[in-house]
Amino acid sequence: MSSAIDRIAKLLTVLWVAPVSVFALLLLPLAVWRASWRVTGGVLEITSPALSWFLQGPWFRAMSGGAGFAAATIGHVLVARNRTSMDNCRVHEHVHVRQCERWGALMPLAYVSAGLYAAWRARRWSAYYWDNWFEREARAAEGGAPRSDKRRF
Ligand SMILES: [Zn+2]
């Protein structure tokens, strides 16, 4: 009986996060050529050379103040540069998955608001990412300080 309840709860969680996860469809053209798709812990993990290019694009380099991101979370979808990046970032990214499960469709608004507030407080743009409450929680789960070689979103 509890297994049926667990399945219903999981389905409801997936539906709650779906308004965020659906944005991963925008990356579908980047997730075909030489791509790797895998489901781990109820989360779809995708890597590809085109996603690697995307994660290192000027849009993410500006946000990270460095080389872009190794991985990113979009609801129940994780994208990463490659399998090694995915493995290195999984703990961090799964914290973001849990955050999406808490906030649902409000997650993008909450994340952007937290980032803008952090940047405003620090009076510097890099704080949008580094001092963002959601990122601090994810880094804390890793049990260490942020490392510049493993920046993630
Ligand atoms: Zn992050």
Q: Is the CB of residue 94 less than 8 Å from the CB of residue 107? A: no
pLDDT, position 12: 96
Q: DSSP assignment of 96-148, as one string?
A: HHHHHHHHGGGHHHHHHHHHHHHHHHHTSTTHHHHT-HHHHHHHHHHTS---G
Distance 55 CA to ligand 1 centre (A): 13
pLDDT, position 2: 75
User: d(Cα 33, Cα 10) in Å, to the nearest integer?
Assistant: 31
pLDDT digits (tens, 9 = 90+) for 49-96: 999 999 999 988 888 888 899 999 999 999 999 999 999 999 999 999
Distance 145 CA to ligand 1 centre (A): 13
Pairing of the two strands 43-47 and 77-80: parallel
Distance 99 CA to ligand 1 centre (A): 10
Q: Is the CB of residue 91 less than 8 Å from the CB of residue 85? A: no
Distance 9 CA to ligand 1 centre (A): 25
pLDDT digits (tens, 9 = 90+) for 9-47: 999 999 999 999 999 999 999 999 999 999 998 999 999
> Which residues lie near ion ligand 1 (Cβ < 5 Å)?
135, 138, 152
pTM to 2 decimals?
0.89
pLDDT, position 7: 93
Distance 13 CA to ligand 1 centre (A): 20
- Comparing 74 with 152, the larger pLDDT belongs to 74
CA–CA distances in Å: residue 53 to residues 20, 69, 153 = 22, 10, 15
pLDDT digits (tens, 9 = 90+) for 89-145: 999 999 999 999 999 999 999 999 999 999 999 999 889 999 999 999 999 999 865
Distance 93 CA to ligand 1 centre (A): 6
Ramachandran class of 143: left when φ > 0, alpha when ψ lies in -120 to 50, beta otherwise: left
Residue 150's pLDDT band (cuts 50, 70, 90): very low
Distance 26 CA to ligand 1 centre (A): 20
Distance 68 CA to ligand 1 centre (A): 12
**H/E element holding 39?**
strand 36-40
Distance 34 CA to ligand 1 centre (A): 25
